[in-house]
């Protein structure tokens, strides 16, 4: 396998770095401190084709593959993990679900607006009491004539308040029946659909995380994605791609922390020499570089398989599990290399440190990834 960056990946990298210097870097601390979700930034990212990376050109997207997508997410995350998270959730979850399972009419209706970021997307699976136990969901949809009526609450939803359109999985059958859930597209402004509590988070503070509440929310039967009872199965397939997204996000955060630490270790002098010359520091950098490369290879392997249409459940879980743990470790070591300065907001590594932890939790915890990996190995 050759994972040397293609010309397209190199172009994407340069575009994001140039864009980031002007439109992201000066505002990162402000967004983080104020927990501001910069909607206008995402409109600009949409103009660059970065909000519909995997969407075919006929629906207004960039028509690229997962290798390019990994480049997009990781390069944005090197600058700001929170923005990377929102771009990933929009692309792989809401947009990705409609792309994979929507009818032609649904694709034509929603994908152009999502790909351009005219509409920001949300995706609702998680509930207050059913984090990893999705088959025990309480949010229900019942059929009434040509409509479905949704009732319940979704939590930990990226863009739960600000999203213009959401893909929502609700129970339409028996509890714990893998064919007892269905997926629906719900547009903001639909009576009975509202945003709830916005979470006050440790990190990823510029990426909005909030509840979605459904109170006798009526939607047309035509808004169901696929067939009744397919929602859970669809979601598991969507999460395969989502885990590659989080692996890419983790990779970007790890690289950002590593590059900052590498630079600082060569500039910071103690005892009349750069601290990089001390074994205690240089070995940390060596471990970081090695683990990041291993995480990148796992992520690229999963992305390559996804682009080829191969089954990537295990590879995606491995990439997400390993890369997210590497991100946490790399960020922790970066703070240590910076010393006291690493504990302040004057330098970037404290934010990488706070942002990284979400990667081991969101879209399936590290423990759930191990279950997935083991289950696939034991088949």
Q: Where are the domains of the chain?
A: 7-120, 122-231, 232-378
The pTM (predicted TM-score) of the whole model is 0.97
CATH of region 232-378: 1.20.140.10
Residues 5-15, mean pLDDT to the nearest whole number: 96
Looking at CATH, the fold of the domain delimited by 7-120 is given as Butyryl-Coa Dehydrogenase, subunit A; domain 1 (1.10.540)
Residues β-bridged to residue 274: 269
CATH of region 122-231: 2.40.110.10
Residues ≥6 apart with Cβ < 8 Å to 109: none
* Six token digits for residue 277: 């010359």
Distance from C-alpha of 11 to C-alpha of 5, rounded to nearest angstrom: 10
What would you report as the CA-atom Rg of the chain, rounded to the nearest whole angstrom?
Answer: 21
- Would you say the CATH fold of 232-378 matches that of 122-231? no
* 257 in Cβ contact with 352 (< 8 Å): yes
Residues that are catalytic: 363
Distance from C-alpha of 30 to C-alpha of 242, rounded to nearest angstrom: 28
For the cut 80, the answer to whether the pLDDT of residue 258 exceeds it is yes
Based on the number of CB atoms within 10 Å of its own CB, is 48 exposed (0-12), middle (13-18) or buried (19 or more)?
middle
For the cut 90, the answer to whether the pLDDT of residue 217 exceeds it is yes
Q: What is the pLDDT of residue 130?
A: 84
pLDDT tens figures, 31-49: 999 999 999 999 999 999 9
* 333 in Cβ contact with 286 (< 8 Å): no
């Amino acid at each position: 396998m050759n994972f040397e960056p293609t010309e397209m990946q190199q172009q994407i990298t340069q575009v994001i770095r140039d864009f980031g210097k002007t439109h992201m870097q000066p505002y990162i601390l402000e967004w983080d401190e104020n927990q501001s979700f910069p909607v206008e930034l995402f409109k600009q990212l949409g103009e660059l084709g970065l909000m519909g990376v995997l969407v075919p050109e006929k629906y207004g997207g960039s028509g690229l593959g997962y290798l390019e997508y990994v480049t997009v997410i990781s390069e944005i995350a090197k600058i700001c993990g929170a923005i990377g998270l929102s771009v990933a959730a929009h692309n792989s979850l809401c947009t990705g679900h409609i792309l994979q399972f929507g009818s032609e009419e649904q694709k034509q209706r929603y994908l152009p607006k999502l790909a351009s970021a005219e509409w920001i997307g949300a995706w609702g699976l998680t509930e207050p009491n059913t984090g990893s136990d999705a088959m025990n969901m309480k949010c229900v949809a019942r059929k009434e004539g040509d409509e479905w009526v949704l009732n319940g609450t979704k939590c930990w939803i990226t863009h739960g308040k600000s999203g213009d359109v959401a893909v929502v999985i609700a129970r339409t059958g028996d509890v714990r029946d893998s064919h007892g859930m269905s997926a629906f597209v719900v547009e903001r402004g639909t009576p009975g659909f509202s945003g709830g509590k916005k979470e006050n988070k440790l990190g990823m503070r510029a990426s909005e995380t909030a509840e979605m509440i459904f109170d006798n929310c009526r939607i047309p039967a035509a808004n169901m994605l696929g067939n009744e009872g397919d929602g859970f199965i669809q979601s598991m397939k969507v999460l395969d791609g989502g885990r590659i997204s989080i692996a890419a996000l983790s990779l970007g955060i790890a690289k950002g922390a590593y590059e900052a630490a590498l630079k600082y270790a060569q500039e910071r002098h103690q005892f009349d020499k750069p601290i990089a010359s001390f074994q205690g520091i240089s070995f940390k950098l060596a471990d970081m570089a090695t683990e990041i490369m291993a995480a990148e290879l796992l992520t690229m392997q999963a992305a390559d398989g996804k682009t080829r249409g191969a089954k990537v459940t295990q590879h995606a879980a491995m990439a997400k599990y390993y890369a997210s743990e590497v991100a946490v470790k790399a960020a922790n070591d970066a703070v240590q290399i910076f010393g006291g300065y690493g504990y302040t907001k004057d330098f970037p590594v404290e934010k990488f440190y706070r942002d990284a932890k979400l990667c081991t939790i969101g879209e399936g915890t590290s423990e759930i990834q191990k279950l997935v990996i083991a289950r696939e190995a034991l088949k």
